[in-house]
Amino acid sequence: MKLSIENLSFKTANTNILSDISLDVEANSFIGVLGPNGAGKSTLLKCIYGVNTPDKGSVFFENKNLLTMPRKERARKIAVLAQESGSQFDFSVEQVVQMGRYPHKKTLENYSKADKKIVDETLEKLNLTSYRNRFFNTLSGGEKQRVLIARVLAQEADFIILDEPTNHLDIGHQIGIMNIVKNLGVTVLAAIHDINIAALYCDNLVVLKQGQIVTSGTTNHVINKTTIKDTFNIDVDVYQHKTCGKNHIAYNLN
Ligand SMILES: Nc1ncnc2c1ncn2[C@@H]1O[C@H](COP(=O)(O)OP(=O)(O)OP(=O)(O)O)[C@@H](O)[C@H]1O
């Protein structure tokens, strides 16, 4: 098992935000985390990538404890797209993407030709080459998101955590980015709001509600009328996608 989360709990002064989360993720699989606003998706991801310290439980990646791993070693293993990546970046697009190479560098070591090649190729892959000298702060929401995804890709980690990767992206870019991530063939854990996008790309889904796992498993096991109603309080029709055969939903008018 690539990633193993065992009995993970996280609480603030007086509230349990996550209760007893256990989850096993197979190597090179794409796992989607679904759930309503405030369910605990970001908190769970933050516990895994080390921004939150869980009160209880463990997180093992390749049989190593992520919670006690030195920060830089963890950064070599996990690339993260956080939900709020800050508009504080007073850097060019190229510099932001280059930051993805930082975990691979020793203290004061300069970026090598190989690093620069990876940055160039990543910019090209995301159609961002013409933006390389633009300042991050001047970009549109969707452009910023693509640059932050480029930084994740440039890190070349074999575990990627994405908190709402399709945020701000038009449907063309949503599909484009998800295709790229899917084709990397690495382990991906992503919080996703769009159920049909999640169904299309994820091998397995986990549904969180009020800090607990409601259900998990294959997309066709998880996506059904009852689970969607219980989780999001909406009525949907469930149909099978013609090409991939996975369950999708259509919203109903009330
Ligand atoms: N440090 C904190 N202090 C207090 N409450 C917190 C803290 N971190 C998270 N929470 C609360 O925990 C709950 C889960 O938050 P989280 O950001 O994980 O939700 P989410 O499922 O990612 O939601 P969304 O879909 O809106 O992004 C929310 O009610 C949030 O207000």
Residue with CA nearest ligand 1 atom 27? 37
37 lines ligand 1 (CB under 6 A): yes
Amino acid at 114: A
The verdict on ipTM greater than 0.90 is yes
Q: Helical H runs in the chain? A: 41-49, 71-77, 93-98, 113-125, 141-154, 171-183, 195-201, 219-222, 225-232
Q: Which atom of ligand 1 sits closest to the CA of residue 46?
A: 18
Shortest-distance Cα residue to atom 9 of ligand 1: 43
pLDDT in tens, the chain (254 residues): 689 999 999 999 889 999 999 999 999 999 999 999 999 999 999 999 999 999 999 999 988 999 888 888 898 899 999 987 665 568 999 999 999 999 888 887 888 999 999 999 999 999 999 999 999 999 999 999 999 999 999 999 989 999 999 998 999 999 999 999 999 999 999 999 999 999 999 999 999 999 999 999 999 999 999 999 999 999 999 999 999 999 999 998 76
CATH number of this structure's domain 3-251, picked from the four choices 1.10.275.10, 3.40.50.300, 3.30.450.30, 3.40.50.800: 3.40.50.300
Residue nearest to atom 5 of ligand 1 (CA): 12
Ligand 1 proximity of 43 Cβ (cutoff 6 Å): yes
Handedness of CA 241, 245, 248, 250 (dihedral sign): positive
Residue with CA at minimum distance from ligand 1 atom 17: 42
Task: Report pTM.
Answer: 0.94
Per-domain residue ranges of the chain: 3-251
Ligand 1 binding pocket includes 14 (Cβ within 6 Å):
no
Find where tokens 């190593």 sit: 64
Cβ(54) – ligand 1 distance below 6 Å: no
